[in-house]
Amino acid sequence: MHDITLFVRGAVREVFSTMASIDITCNEEFPEIATPPFTADGIVGSVSVTGKMNGVVYLVFAPALVKRVCNSILGDDPSRSPQEENDVIGEFTNMVTGNLKSKMADKGFNCKLSIPTVLRGNPITIDVADGNLSLSNQFIVDGTQDTISTLVFAKLDE
Amino acid sequence: MTPKILSVDDSKMIHMVIGKAFKPYDVQLFYATNGVEGLAVATRENPNLIILDVTMPVMDGVETLTKLKSDPLLKDIPVIMLTAEAGRENVVKIARIGVRDYMIKPFKEEALIEKAGRIVDLQAKGSGAGKAKSITDPATILVVDDKQAIIQQVQEAIAEYPWTVIGTSQCGEAIDVCARENPDAVLVSLTLPDRAAFNFFQMIRANPKTKSIPVFGMCIKTATEEQTQAQSIGFTGIITKPIDPSDLNFRLTKAMNLNTSAKYFKMDGATLMIARIPNAISDAIANEVNSHIKPMTQEMVESGVSKMLIDMSELTKIEMGTIKLMLNIMQNCAELTIKYRVVGSSEFITQAKTFAETKDLIIYVSREAAKEGF
């Protein structure tokens, strides 16, 4: 298993548990190596990484999970605006990528992060122009069918 | 006085998490969504603590922190940095600029409260401990310096206030004084032998009873190594020698979170408020006076005080900053239907005629003249 996969798994679990008190379990049967293009349904947060590691980190949220996370952090609101949801997804993506960045920096891959971007669509196709790593993970919220997937398209300057 | 806490973050989610964390406590929260807004709110509100995000659009946290630390009015405000990047390089970078503490995202609300509680006095809502302390209330200042002349200089600098100075040359004795007297602020020489000031500071911070006392380090301007070290371990600020009395007063009152309105606003009888504008007003003083105008005029209306006398007679030179301050008082009075009159020396009156904003203003030559028929 690639180090990035391990780091992302730890980061996603920590962010969900600490900020939203939601426990998630990694779907071990989900393929670690993603084959681009990747088609996502739902809401996607992304942060670009530049430096010794170049690429993009994506968090793909199922719509039901977005509502659950927002309600847990911001309180119940049936008419929550998409902007508030985007804010939460952007912040989660930033936290996961920041965590990954720190771990990669310890291994000598220093990099900088962009401001998060949030995409909505059904479906969204995510492809990679240049990269030697395409890694994915899927997590399932305990006791539900809600999922969150992560994608890391990256090139390491070794 | 209720502590003011400013959260600077582009995420509404983080603002809400911070709001929720501090909800049980008697604090005043302010929010800004980037560094530019954050600096503006910090200048206006003079918060006791800033919680600052690193990654933000417009102006990021590192640039904001650098600007805060280079502004004489804002540099002493303690900052907790919030960052999603826990890497050593990042932490060292922000520590060098001078943060009091940092938090790695994701974070638990309790962890934030624990860190904030080390810096500001967090009192549960309704406990009544948040009563505003004024500049006219007694306070105790502990000065630790092996030069008696410095202790005396501090005494003279704060002589206009009802504050007591306790002087000592020994840090051991200073620890006892802190435990016994719980002083409102401490000034300690950073050049005492055997790094005594730094050990003393750490002991003060480790004791729950004394951990919130503002501690200033004192040294000469060129002792940069001691200054950097003091800032990095969280001293409230640095007072450079020779001591500038007005700078010392300003920073002590800020650190002790004292309401300074009594310096500028005073009742004359039951229905007249006098606003006194001091001479040679610095930006710091102008900001301080400005911050009192709105609450003071609102309080006047609520208490049935309907007249304000703006006393500019101490001023020997009129400047744009002074005019702005005076116009701000006049505007606030006009908005709340408070009648006002302006008093100034004959020199002031002559100079006022040369400014478009004040050329038609009626200025009285004395308080007595202004009060007549008012």
Decide if B141 contacts B165 (C-beta within 8 A): yes
Q: Which chain B residues are closer than 8 Å to A18 by Cβ?
A: 106-108
Please say which residue of B55, B85, B117 terminates a domain: B117
CA pair distance B312, B317, nearest whole angstrom: 10
pLDDT tens sequence for chain B (374 residues): 688 999 999 888 899 899 989 988 889 999 999 999 999 999 888 898 999 998 888 888 889 998 998 888 888 888 999 888 777 777 777 777 778 888 888 988 889 998 888 888 787 776 655 455 788 889 999 999 999 999 999 999 999 899 999 999 999 999 999 988 889 999 999 999 999 999 999 999 888 778 878 899 999 999 988 998 888 788 888 999 999 998 898 889 888 888 888 889 999 988 899 999 988 777 778 888 888 898 899 989 888 899 999 999 998 888 888 888 899 999 999 999 999 999 999 888 888 888 888 889 999 999 999 998 88
Q: What is the pLDDT of residues A44-75, one digit of tens each?
A: 999 999 999 999 999 999 888 998 899 888 88
| B182, part of any domain | yes
Which of B274, B247, B246, B248 is CA-nearest to residue B262?
B274
Same domain, B239 and B310: no
**What distance in Å separates the CA atoms of residue A90 and residue A79, rounded to the nearest whole number?**
19
Q: Report if residue B132 sits inside a domain.
A: no
Residue B27 lies in a domain: yes
Contact across the interface for B17 and A73, Cβ inside 8 Å? yes
Question: How many residues are listed for chain B in this entry?
Answer: 374
- Other Cβ atoms less than 10 A from the Cβ of B121: the count is 18
Instruction: Give the one of B86, B88, B89 whose C-beta lies nearest to A99's C-beta.
Output: B86
Same domain? For B233 and B279 the reply is no
Distance from CA of B202 to the nearest CA of A (A): 29
Q: Is residue B126 part of a domain?
A: no
Is residue B145 located within the same domain as residue B251? Answer: yes
Taking the CB of residue A80, how many other CB atoms lie within 10 A of it? 16
List CB contacts (< 8 A) between A57 and chain B.
none
Give me A123's structure tokens.
């479906």
Residue B175 lies in a domain: yes
- Where does residue B182 fall: left (phi above 0), alpha (psi -120 to 50 degrees), or beta otherwise? left
Q: How many Cα atoms sit within 13 Å of B247 on the Cβ side?
A: 16
Are the C-beta atoms of A8 and A96 separated by less than 8 Å?
yes
**pLDDT of the residue at A100:** 92
Residue of A72, A102, A118 best to disrupt the B interface, most CBs of B under 10 A: A102
Q: Are residues B345 and B315 in the same domain?
A: yes
Residue B347 lies in a domain: yes
Distances (CA, A) of B77 to A147, B4, B22, B73: 43, 11, 19, 9
Q: What tokens were used for B56? A: 């933000």
Please list the ranges in chain A whose pLDDT falls under 50.
none
Same domain, B90 and B143: no
Residues of B in contact with A73 (CB under 8 A): 13, 16-17
Q: What is the pLDDT of residue B364?
A: 93
Work out how many domains chain B is built from and give that number.
3
Contact A19 B106 (CB under 8 A): yes
Q: What is the DSSP letter of B366?
A: S
Chains A and B form CB pairs within 8 A to the count of 63
B34: closest CA among B78, B67, B70? B67
> Tell me: domain A3-156, CATH 3.40.1550.10, correct?
yes
Report, in angstroms and rounded to the nearest whole number, the Rg of chain A calculated over CA atoms: 15
| CATH code for the domain of B101 | 3.40.50.2300
* A113 interaction partners in chain B (CB closer than 8 Å): 55, 84-85
- Residues from chain A that touch B18, judged by Cβ atoms under 8 A, are none
Nearest by CB: B89 against A97, A99, A110: A110
Is the CB of residue B175 less than 8 Å from the CB of residue B144? no
CA of A109 vs chain B CAs: smallest distance (Å): 11
Distance in Å, alpha carbon of B56 to nearest chain A alpha carbon: 7
> With an 8 Å Cβ cutoff, are A101 and B17 in contact?
no
**Nearest-by-Cβ selection for B83 from A15, A98, A115:** A98
Residues with Cβ < 8 Å from B364, sequence gap 6 or more?
B341, B342, B343, B344, B370
Please give the order of strands across the beta sheet that includes B363-364.
B265-268, B272-276, B307-311, B339-343, B363-364
Range of the domain at B149: 139-255
Distance of alpha carbon A144 from alpha carbon A134, whole angstroms: 27
CA angle B95, B96, B100 (to 5 degrees): 40
Q: Do the interacting molecules here have an ipTM over 0.95? A: no
Residues B223 and B321 in one domain: no
Q: DSSP secondary structure string, B292-347?
A: HHHHHHHHHHHTT--EEEEE-TT-SS--HHHHHHHHHHHHHHHHTT-EEEEE--HH
Beta strands in chain B (DSSP E): 4-8, 28-32, 49-53, 79-83, 101-104, 139-144, 163-168, 185-189, 215-220, 237-241, 265-268, 272-276, 307-311, 339-343, 363-364
Of B255, B287, B317, which closes a domain? B255
Cα–Cα separations (whole angstroms), residue A79 to A82, A87, B208: 9, 15, 45
Residue B340's DSSP bridge partners are B308
CA dihedral B208, B214, B218, B221 (to 10 degrees): 130
- Where do the domains of chain A lie? 3-156
The residue of A19, A24, A53 whose CB has the most chain B CBs within 10 angstroms, and thus the best one to mutate to test that interface, is: A19
In terms of domains, do B340 and B245 share one? no
Cα distance between residue B314 and residue B316, in whole Å? 6
- Answer for the pair B13, A88: CB distance below 8 angstroms, yes or no: yes
Are residues B314 and B218 both part of a single domain? no
Residues B144 and B85 in one domain: no
Within-domain flag for B16: yes
pLDDT given for residue B130 in this prediction: 47
- Closest residue in chain A to residue B9, using alpha carbons only: A91
**Chain B residues near any Cβ of chain A (below 8 Å):** 10-14, 16-17, 55-57, 83-90, 105-108
Q: What per-residue confidence (pLDDT) applies to B40?
A: 92
* Residue B271's CATH number: 3.30.750.24
B177 and B250 both lie in a single domain = yes
Report d(CA B253, CA B185) in Å as an integer: 9
DSSP letters for B120-150: S---BTTSSTTPPPBTTS-EEEEEE-S-HHH
